[in-house]
Structure 1
Amino acid sequence: MIPPTADVVLPCLDEATALPWVLSRIPAGWRAIVVDNGSTDGSAAIAADLGAVVVREPRRGFGAACHAGLEAAGAEFVCFCDCDASLDPALLPAFVREVADGRCELVLGRRRPESAAAWPPHARAGNLAVARMLRRRTGLRLRDLGPLRAARREALLGLGLTDRRSGYPLEMVVRAADAGWRVTERDVPYRRRAGRSKVTGTWRGTWHAVNDMRGVLAAPADPPAGPPADPPAGPRATEPAGAR
């Protein structure tokens, strides 16, 4: 079955090398929204030349870029993908289909690195630590908090996300769990990124990101007042494909 169309939000900071490949992988008929977060390498012009919608977000921060893209989106379904060529946006139709069919409200890509260089040890350790804290906070048994994801736009806006730094992806999952959303994972290949990471490329960057996420987890549960998702059976994380 042909999945519904969606908007793909691509937060971008100096990703001129990766953009051509990433935008070539956007599913046909879908709209790429590249949110330029202060690039100095011509990323915004490259994205526009390649047919993407370019949104400029002057406030620095991964969350600021993601949320600006969410607000700029107009499709019923919105996907998120890193803009560094580490993840393949061509995989997103299957994510959207799960949400559209009512099997879940939020789909996350569980990263499976293709090489040791794709996911440095410090970044993997930080992700594991946050996943454990998330389980204690929400009960969700997730293995990854990967940036490849899909959900309904209005439902996401209804979560009332406020983090504008590295904690944004985690806050989305925490608030989704508090609202009773069903959250599932799908295995996705994780490639070595193009260029240097701005967040988890070093131990220091990973440490700052984990601290941002600790703040999100420490916040009290506050169910959103926005439009609810389809009635779920309670927060749960389903097994990723092929994981046993």
Structure 2
Amino acid sequence: MKEILVIIPAYNEANSIGKVISEIPDLVTEIIVVNNNSTDNTAAVATAAGATVLFEGQMGYGYACLKGINYASKRSKTPDIIVFMDGDYSDFPEDLHKVIAPILSGDADFVIGARQKALREQGSMTPQQVFGNWLATSLMKLLFRASFTDLGPFRAIRFEQLKALEMEDKTYGWTVEMQLKAVKRKIAYTEVPVRYKKRIGISKVSGTIKGSIFAGIKILGWIFKYSIK
């Protein structure tokens, strides 16, 4: 049996995190919720649902992911696959089977759950998200010949490959950093289509003008940083 860990960064997701955890397939060894300085009872709900809860006081998606990776690195049994997903219930946790399938079959080491339009609930992605994904993936195709169509947060990667990426972004650039490094380091990657629905609560990134602007700056910054290397 493969050791499969799920890492879920969570900031004020008390209304959704229990639903996410309850629908994650049983083949997952451990669910790690990184409580990113929440002011609600996210941690208590996640604990009651059976997750391992870590606390990360530094605000930022990347900070939370790095906390989870550090925990995974120190387990007595090394994980084989790490799956990342959001805690807002916008993903369909049961689609995890599809996301890890190319890794289990040996066809890829890194898989993005691509939120294709035909599988998205209407209104589940804001116009700025749709445009941002298109711009970022178009630039990656132009500059790096990458075949990504999405920067989706629902993703899986072999743990050894994840460690080799030496991830460093602490905030909004986490997803694009991972994809750029995978391309540059010639890690075998692919996408699988996944369903996507309206999240519970308001997005901390796309739900605010400030969040959208900073996310856009960070994403484009990573792309242009790698284009001149």
The alignment's TM-score, normalised by the length of structure 2, stands at 0.90
Q: Deviations over 1:38-96 (max 9, x none)?
A: 10111011111111000111111111111211221242110000110000222112322
Q: Which runs of 5+ in 2 are unaligned?
A: 73-77
2: CA distance, partners of 1:91 / 1:19: 16
Between 90-99 and 190-199, the greater mean CA deviation after superposition: 90-99
Q: Which residue of 1 aligns with 2:182?
A: 176
1:139 maps to what in 2?
A: 145
2:147 counterpart letter in structure 1 = R
In structure 1, distance between residues paired with 2:228 and 2:26: 38
Q: Give, in whole Å, the separation in 1 of the partners of 2:152 and 2:227.
A: 22
State how far apart, in whole Å, the 2-side matches of 1:35 and 1:169 are.
Answer: 17
**8 Å Cα contact 2:14-2:40 kept in structure 1:** yes
Aligned to 1:7: 5
In structure 2, the partner of 1:213 is: 219
Q: Distance in 2 between matches of 1:220 and 1:81?
A: 25
Instruction: Provide the aligned length of Structure 1 versus Structure 2.
Output: 221
Per-residue deviation, 1:133:
1.7
CA RMSD of aligned residues (A): 1.8
Name the structure 2 match of 1:191.
Answer: 197
Partner AA of 2:53 in structure 1? V
What's the secondary structure of 2:195's corresponding residue? Answer: strand
Instruction: Report the AA paired with residue 16 of structure 1.
Output: A
Quick one: distance in 2 between partners of 1:219 and 1:122?
A: 22
Structure 1 runs of 4+ off > 3 angstroms?
220-223
- Normalising by structure 1, what TM-score? 0.85
1:29-44 mapped onto 2 (5 Å cutoff): 29-30=27-28, 31-44=30-43
1:86 aligned residue? 90
C-alpha distance in 1, partners of 2:166/2:189? 18
Which SS does the other structure have where 2:67 is aligned? helix
The equivalent of 2:109 in structure 1 is: 105
**Offset of 1:127 from its aligned partner?**
1.4
8 Å Cα contact 2:180-2:226 kept in structure 1: no
Deviations 1:185-209 (A, max 9, x none): 1111110000000011134322210
Aligned-residue sequence identity (percent) comes to: 32
SS for the counterpart of 1:59 is coil
Q: Distance in 2 between matches of 1:44 and 1:196?
A: 18
Output one character per residue of 1:85-140: Cα deviation in whole Å (capped at 9) or x when no partner.
00022211232231132201111011135332211112211111111122223211
Q: 1:137 to 1:161 in 2, by over 3 A?
A: farther
